[in-house]
Structure 1
Amino acid sequence: MITDAATTIFRAIAACALLALASSSFAAEPIIGVASVIDGDTIEVHGQRIRLNGIDAPESRQLCLDAAGRRYRCGQTAAFALDDFLAARRPVSCVQIDRDRYGRIVAECTAGGINVEDWLVREGHALDWPRYSKGAYADAEAEARAAKRGMWAGSFQRPWEWRKDHDAPMISTE
């Protein structure tokens, strides 16, 4: 036979479990506003630094080779392309997925109804980062590679490998 105290404890535990379940089933409120581009895969909206989920763009000081074999700042090119894309489709809407080890929000973002991460990869300005994307942008990357868009028109080092080779820590400007 269940005592009144046991029933009360059971109800309290059940209520806590339901509350936890309910709160986890609701998506976080999107962050909506005009974005400032920090670099090719990081933006800032309302003072909140947002790392785009599942992709990796070249670092600002990273050099790539274009189709003619000339060096260019592909990270800077990616940042400018992202800025142009977002400026034409304001505002941006981002849904937080996680936080990275630097405290930045990691989010999936859209602008003008277009997935920003997918657009960057499809245009060849960023790569699918399977470690974090689980291959979500692999098809977009294959399309960019086949069409020789962006970085795929020439040659480049994958950003995560470039950082390792250049002892460049992933800091807040990434």
Structure 2
Amino acid sequence: MFCLWAAALALPNGSFAAPGLSGTVRVIDGDTLDVGGGRVRLFGIDAPETDQMCTTEQGQSWACGAWVTDQVTTLFAGRQAHCVAVDTDRYGRIVAQCDVRGQDMGEAIVSAGLAFAYRKYSNRYVFAEKGAAVRDVGLHASRVQNPSQFRQTRAVGRIPPDRNCKIKGNISRKGTRIFHVPGQLYYERTGIRPETGERWFCTISDAQSAGWRAAKR
């Protein structure tokens, strides 16, 4: 059951973070959970994105992001977590430290080699990460691109260079010209590559006049 704590937590700058919460865990990915009725980003750790690929020492590519999500699901899904809010991120998620029966979830995940210490925001889990690296467990047995670098690479072509021209003119593998508008199912994951003829549009009429058709969803 979702329950808000009585008081919000004061941050050093005098603002207030979202309140703490507790409830049943539903795993979204390696560092993101639904706890009760709230979306939580675990503080101080950074796990591979669900669609991120890694490479073994033998040079084989494997779906490490999906694997991490499965492992964290096995560890914590359906269990009762207690979270203390630290901040709220730009996506509106509660950034929090969470524990299950006294076990720090962030520390457990990093210690198992399923995520890295997110040094940009905290050094809390640096020793846990070093311990996992020494034991060569989890992701430390593979060549893994830093998750934040992966997100930056993936974001190329997905963010409109002009805020007034947000319509994405995509060209499919079959050569079909399709445009996506903000809010559609595939808008966020669609990247625009001008070198292949793809382009940004400011209005739907501009896209249609140029020969693009609207995406069905």
TM-score, scaled to structure 1: 0.76
Q: Which residue among 96, 99, 102 is the counterpart of 1:113?
A: 102
- In the TM superposition, residue 72 of structure 1 has moved relative to its aligned partner by 1.4
Partners of 2:62 and 2:101 lie apart in 1 by 29
Name the SS for the 1:131 alignment partner.
Answer: coil
> What's the RMSD between the two structures over aligned residues?
2.3
Aligned to 2:124: 136
* C-alpha contact (below 8 Å) 1:69/1:154 kept by paired residues: no
* C-alpha contact (below 8 Å) 2:44/2:121 kept by paired residues: yes
Aligned to 1:146: 134
Higher-helix-fraction structure: 1
Aligned to 1:82: 72
Change (3 A) 1:87 1:104: closer
Partners of 1:99 and 1:121 lie apart in 2 by 22
- In the TM superposition, residue 62 of structure 1 has moved relative to its aligned partner by 0.4
* C-alpha contact (below 8 Å) 1:124/1:144 kept by paired residues: yes
Name the SS for the 1:121 alignment partner.
Answer: helix
Amino acid at match of 2:45: I
Dislocated runs of 4+, deviation >2 Å: 27-30, 66-70
Aligned to 1:166: 154
Render the CA deviation track for 1:93-143: whole Å, top value 9, x for unaligned: 11111100111100000012111111111111101011111x111101101
Q: Which residue among 51, 70, 73 is the counterpart of 2:60?
A: 70
- In the TM superposition, residue 30 of structure 1 has moved relative to its aligned partner by 3.8
**Residue 36, structure 1, aligned to residue 26, structure 2:** yes
Partners of 1:66 and 1:110 lie apart in 2 by 31
Unaligned runs of 5+ in 2: 1-8, 12-16, 159-187, 189-217
Unaligned runs of 5+ in 1: 1-22
Amino acid at match of 1:45: V
Percent identity over the alignment? 37
Name the SS for the 1:164 alignment partner.
Answer: helix
Aligned residue-pair number? 145
Partners of 2:121 and 2:68 lie apart in 1 by 20
TM-score, scaled to structure 2: 0.61
